[in-house]
Structures are given as structure tokens and as C-alpha cells.
Amino acid sequence: MLRWINFRQSLTLAVFLLLGVFACSFGTIYGGFDIGFTSILSGELKKLETEILLNIRGPRITLAVMVGAALGVSGAALQGLFRNPLADPGLIGVSAGAALGAVSAIVFLNVELLPFQLGKYLIPLAAILSSCAVICLIFILTNGFKKSDITYVLLIGIALNALATVGIGLLTFISTDSQLRGLTYWMMGSFGAASWGLLVPAFFIIVLSILTLIFIARKLDIMQLGEVEAYRLGVEVKKLKMMVILISALMVGISVSLSGIIGFVGLVVPHLVRLIAGTNHTYLFAGSALLGITITVGADLLSRMAISPAELPVGLATSALGAPFFLFLVIRLRKIEY
């Protein structure tokens, strides 16, 4: 991995790593209830502080780390595959599809009736199955990704995204008052419902997915020359498309199932990393994971402290950053064309 990363990129990754460590440290210490850093280092924590650290803030920070890395890397992978800096995991319909599955579970299914505490897995499972269904539908409609223009896949995803949004709107309309509050808050994104039982399997899946993308990073570098040229250089283009889209869909589906919709991280993070130190995908994946962690953990800390003791949805914080940046990208690309 390191042989493909030059000194400037290695330095950038080191800076991103430090920023991520600082963000996680501050996120662990500060919030509605502050925990002394010296108390953590010395191990002299009170019972309440231990409970907050292990069962509330620990899972929350871990989930923010997982979601930030997953969304950042999936965004970088899709932008490299589409060869378009405006590509975003949400644009292929996976985020909305996962949200539709989760909302359906909230509205129609009674979680308390399931035995052996299986209810807590119901919403994540419904979201992941729904995201997989979206990917299968894209695969069918594009005839197995055989279209030479990958933009066709993107357009199909946008259409499915719109249909899923309609379904979410209808389910929101028929939901009860008790369901509506939790549903609306979940749709805006939050890391507050994290638990170790849900995080452990999701952690291994996300880590394995990121490592797989890093392993095929050089093929994505070659893809930037065009699909025909990449095929001549020995890249199995169709197989690469399927791998990138399926892995990205899996990571996004898991992220949405656990935290709700966290917007614009997959768009903003890879572009910032690319602007700072280049387009090498090995560096880009590692940098996007680290910077994604910094942004999601930082946004979570901001949401907890902005109107403490109340809490803002994390999705509002990331969208407040991402929407202006998206407009900047569109205007910048328009100027380049002219």
C-alpha cells in the first residue's frame, strides 16, 4: 500500500489521522456531561462516568467512526468509478432505499413481539435488505451493468431514489404520532441509538469492505483512462463495476440502517482529500476514511453541544456543510467547461 503513496500524501494521511484522534478524544470527553481526561488516563472514574463512557459515549463515537469511514470511502469509490466528482452514494438510490426499509419496519412491524431481543436487529436488517433490493433492481434494469456508459447506472439510481423518497413520504403520512417523532429524527441522522450488539458485526463488514476497495485501488486508477483503455490494460471492467457498486451499497446500507441518513459526507470528503494531495485511489481511500471520521465525529460533538442538554440531528450539521460545497462544485465545473 505505502509504495503507491508519495511523501506529500503520507504527510496528509498523518495529519488526517491526528485530526481524527483529536476529534474522537474531544467527542469522548465533552458533551452534555463532561468527563475529565485525567480521570480516563488514571482510570479513576466514578460509576456514572464509567457507565456513560462504556455504554453511551463509547458506542456512539464508534458508530460515528464507522459511518464516517464507510461514507467517505464509498463516495471516493463511486466518484472514481463514475469519473465524476459530483457522484455521491445517495445518488444511486441506496441511501433512500435503506431508509425506506427502515421506515417500513418502524411503521408496520411490532418490534416488541419478536423473541430473544431480536427486535433491535429488525430495523437495521430491514434497511440492509432494502438497500440490497435497490442494487438488484439496478442490476436488472441495466442488464447486468453491461451499458458502456456508467452514467446510465447513475440515472437509474436517481429515479429509484425519487421513488423511495415517495414511499418514505407516504409512510410518514400514515404513521402515528409516537412513530412520527422517532421516524423524523431518525431520517435526519443520529448516532444516539448505538449499541455494542449492533456495532460489532457491522464493524467487521465495513472494515473488510474498505480493505477490499484498497486492494483494487490500482484498477480504479487505470479506469480513469477510460473503460476501453482499462480493458486493453487487463482490467475486467464489468467485474470492477459490480464490485465497487455492491461494496459501496453494502457500506451505505449498513450506515443508514444504524444512523439514519447522514448527507453529503460521501460527496464532500473525497473531493477535499483529492484537492489536497492528488487522485491516487490508494491514498484517496485511506484519506477519505480518516477525514470522514473527523467530520462525522465533529458533527456529532457539535450536535450534542449546540443546544445542550437537547440534541440536534447530525444530518443537519453535515448538510449545512455539504450543501454550500455542492453548489461550489457545480459552479466550479461550469466555469471549467466554458
Q: Which of 176-185, 213-222, 251-260 has the highest mean pLDDT?
A: 213-222
Contacts by 168-176 with C-beta closer than 8 Å and gap 24+? Answer: 168/96, 168/99, 168/100, 168/103, 171/100, 171/103, 171/104, 171/107, 172/103, 174/107, 175/106, 175/107
Give the model's pLDDT for residue 18.
96
> Does pLDDT of 129 surpass 80?
yes
Q: Which of 94-103, 132-141, 207-216, 270-279 has the highest mean pLDDT?
A: 207-216
Please tell me the pTM assigned to this model.
0.87
- What pLDDT is stored for residue 56 in this prediction? 85
- The answer, yes or no, to whether residue 133 has pLDDT greater than 60, is yes
* pLDDT value of position 111: 54
Residue type, 236: E
Lowest-confidence segment of 10-24, 172-186, 288-302 by average pLDDT: 172-186
Best-predicted range by mean pLDDT among 86-95, 131-140, 296-305, 313-322?
296-305
**Residue 118 has what pLDDT?**
52
Sign of CA dihedral 101, 103, 108, 113: positive
pLDDT in the model for residue 113: 44
pLDDT of residue 334: 62
Neighbours of 102 (CB within 10 A): 29
Percent of the chain predicted with pLDDT > 90: 20
Q: Quick one: pLDDT band at residue 161, thresholds 50, 70, 90?
A: confident
DSSP calls for 140-204? HHTTTTT-S-THHHHHHHHHHHHHHHHHHHHHHHHS-HHHHHHHHHHHT--STT--HHHHHHHHH
> In this model, does residue 323 exceed pLDDT 70?
yes
CA distance 68 to 71: 5
Task: Dig out the grid coordinates for 114 from the structure.
Answer: 419478536
Does the pLDDT value for residue 194 go beyond 50?
yes
CATH number for the domain formed by residue range(s) 58-337:
1.10.3470.10
What's the confidence (pLDDT) of residue 144?
Answer: 58
Mean pLDDT for 13-36 is 87
What are the grid coordinates assigned to 186, written together? Answer: 431518525
Domain boundaries, the chain: 58-337
Q: What is the mean pLDDT of the chain?
A: 82
Whether the pLDDT of residue 285 is over 90: the answer is yes
pLDDT digits (tens, 9 = 90+) for 216-240: 999 999 988 888 888 888 888 888 8
